Structure 1
Amino acid sequence: MPYLKRDGDVFVLYLGNEGQTDSENRFHPDWIDELHATLDEVAASEGPAALVTTATGKFYSNGLDTDWLFGNLDKIHWYLDRVHTVFSRLLTFPMATVAAVNGHAFGAGAMTATSHDFRVMRSDRGYYSLPEVLLNMPFTVGMNSLVTTRLGNQVAVSTMTTGRRVGGAEALASGIVDGTAEGDAVLAEAVRRAAELTRTRGANLGTIKASLHAPVLEALAVQTSEANLQFGK
C-alpha cells in the first residue's frame, strides 16, 4: 500500500509497500482508497510544501489491477470511475506535484504520471506505455481526454494507437516528461524540482489547476457506462 516520507518541505509518496521492491503497484480498490487517505494526510499539513510520487523496484505502476477486474466485471464501471478519481485528485492537488518515474509506467500508471504537474523519468531503465490497444481494452472518455489534452494529439496518437514502449530519452524529446535522470537520481531530481515550488502551495493553486484542466476534469467526471465503454469488444 502507498506510504509517505518527507524530504524537507517535500512529501514523497511511495506507491508500493514499504520494504518491497517487486510490487507492480496496481490499482486495486483498496490501493486507491489508501492512496486517497495518504493524499488527505498531505493536504492536511501546514506550511510550504510540494508532493513527489515514486516507487521502488522495476515499476512505478503497472496500471489497472486486471486480476481483480476480470474477477469483478460486474463492477467495471464503478471501478473505472474510482480510477478516475486518482487522476482528478492529482490534477487539482493544491501543491506542486512531480512524478519521479523510477521504472515502468504502464496504462493507468502512465496516466497517473501524466496527471502530475511535472514528470522526471529514469533515462536508463523503464518505459512509458499505453498498451490498451494491444489488450483490446478501450480508453474511457476521461482517459482519452487526459492523454490527448496533457500530451497533445500527435503524441497521443503515437502512444494510444500503437501501445509501444517509450524510453526516457524519447519521452523527454516528445514532451511526455519534463526531465530525465540516471538510476536513483530520478528521485533526487524530482525532489529538487518540487522543492523550488513549495511556496506555491495553497487553495489558490488548486483553483488555478482546476481552471487549467477544466475540460479534462469534466471528462473524468463522466460516469462510465455501456454507452461510452465497450470493454473487450
Structure 2
Amino acid sequence: MTLTMHNEGKFNPASLAEFNQALDQVLADESLTGLLISGEGKTFAQGLDLEYLTAEKPDTAMDFVHQCMQMIGRLLSFPIPVVSAINGHAFGLGAMIALASDYQVMREDRGYFCLPEVDLGMVLIPSMNALVINKMNNKAVRDSLLTGGKVSGPSAQTAGFIDQCCSLDTLFIEAEQIIAPMLGKNRHAVGGLKEGINQAILTHINQA
C-alpha cells in the first residue's frame, strides 16, 4: 500500500484528516502488511501549511500542531512497517514524517531534507524536539536546527538519518526491498515493539 501526499504535502486540517483517514483504511484491511509513504512530483511534503497557521489564532494554530504530532505518534507505533519513499523535498513536518517512519529511502539527485524553523522564527514544541533528538545524532540535530540548512539525500545518508539513496527510477523498488523482510509480521508484536523503541517520543506526544 502506498500513501501519496498531494498538494505538495502541505498540512492543514483537511489534509491532516485525509492522511489520518488513509491510515485508518490501512489498519482496517488486515491483508495489508506494509505501508509506503511518498509525495508527488519534486516534493515529498512541505510540512505545515503556513498560510493556514498564520491566519488562525495562536491557540488554534498550536492545537493543530499538536494534532499533527498525534499523527506522527500513530506512525511511530503503527502495527505494520512504514517506509518513506522520499521523492523530493521533505521540509518541517514532512521531514518529521520521514523520521517517524521505520526506514527512509531518498532520491539521490534532487530534493532536500530541511528543518527550517530557525528561518521562520519558530521553535519546536517538546514532542518535535523529542522526535529529532531520538531519530538524528547530536551533530545532525544541531546543524539542522541552528542553520536551517538543506541536506541532500547523500548527505542525509552519511549523517545517518536516511537509510538509503537511489535514483528516482528505482525509489519504489528500493523501498519495497527494504520493507520486504518485515511483511506479514504479527501486527500486535510490530506495534508493541515500535512503541517500546519510540517510547521517549511517544511520552512527549501523549503528554501534550
* Superposed pair shares fold, TM > 0.5: yes
Determine if contact 2:10/2:48 at 8 Å carries over to the other structure.
yes
* Deviation at residue 67 of structure 1 after TM alignment: 0.5
SS in structure 1 opposite 2:16? helix
1:180 counterpart residue number: 165
Give the whole-Å Cα distance in 1 for the aligned partners of 2:146 and 2:55.
27
Percentage of pairs with the same residue: 32
Matches within 5 A, 1:137-216: 137-216=122-201
2:37 counterpart residue number: 53
Q: 1:14 aligns with which of 1, 4, 10?
A: 4
1:73 counterpart residue number: 57
* Deviation at residue 64 of structure 1 after TM alignment: 0.5
Give the whole-Å Cα distance in 1 for the aligned partners of 2:175 and 2:131.
22
Give the whole-Å Cα distance in 2 for the aligned partners of 1:139 and 1:106.
14
In the alignment, structure 1 residue 115 sits paired with structure 2 residue 100: yes
Deviates more, 1:104-113 or 1:47-56: 47-56
Deviates more, 1:201-210 or 1:41-50: 41-50
1:94 counterpart residue number: 79
Q: Describe the superposition over 1:71-129 as per-residue Cα deviations: whole angstroms up to 9, x where unpaired.
A: 11340221111110121010000011100000000011001100000000000000000
Q: Describe the superposition over 1:150-171 as per-residue Cα deviations: whole angstroms up to 9, x where unpaired.
A: 1122211111111000001111
Determine if contact 1:58/1:104 at 8 Å carries over to the other structure.
yes
SS in structure 2 opposite 1:180? strand
Structure-1-length-normalised TM-score: 0.86
**Structural RMSD (CA):** 1.2
Matches within 5 A, 1:31-42: 31-42=15-26
Structure-2-length-normalised TM-score: 0.96
Deviates more, 1:212-221 or 1:127-136: 212-221
Q: 2:27 aligns with which of 22, 43, 47?
A: 43
Give the whole-Å Cα distance in 2 for the aligned partners of 1:156 and 1:201.
33
* Deviation at residue 191 of structure 1 after TM alignment: 1.8
* Deviation at residue 200 of structure 1 after TM alignment: 2.1
Give 1 or 2: higher helix fraction. 2
Moved over 4 A (4+): none
The letter for the 1-side match of 2:5 is L
Give the whole-Å Cα distance in 2 for the aligned partners of 1:47 and 1:57.
29
Q: 2:8 aligns with which of 20, 24, 48?
A: 24
Ranges in structure 1 where 5+ consecutive residues have no aligned partner: 1-10, 17-22, 224-233
SS in structure 2 opposite 1:36? helix
* Deviation at residue 48 of structure 1 after TM alignment: 5.9
Give the whole-Å Cα distance in 2 for the aligned partners of 1:12 and 1:203.
21
Give the whole-Å Cα distance in 2 for the aligned partners of 1:101 and 1:149.
20
Determine if contact 2:8/2:40 at 8 Å carries over to the other structure.
no
State the number of aligned residues. 207
Determine if contact 1:102/1:187 at 8 Å carries over to the other structure.
no
Determine if contact 1:61/1:110 at 8 Å carries over to the other structure.
yes
* Deviation at residue 222 of structure 1 after TM alignment: 3.2
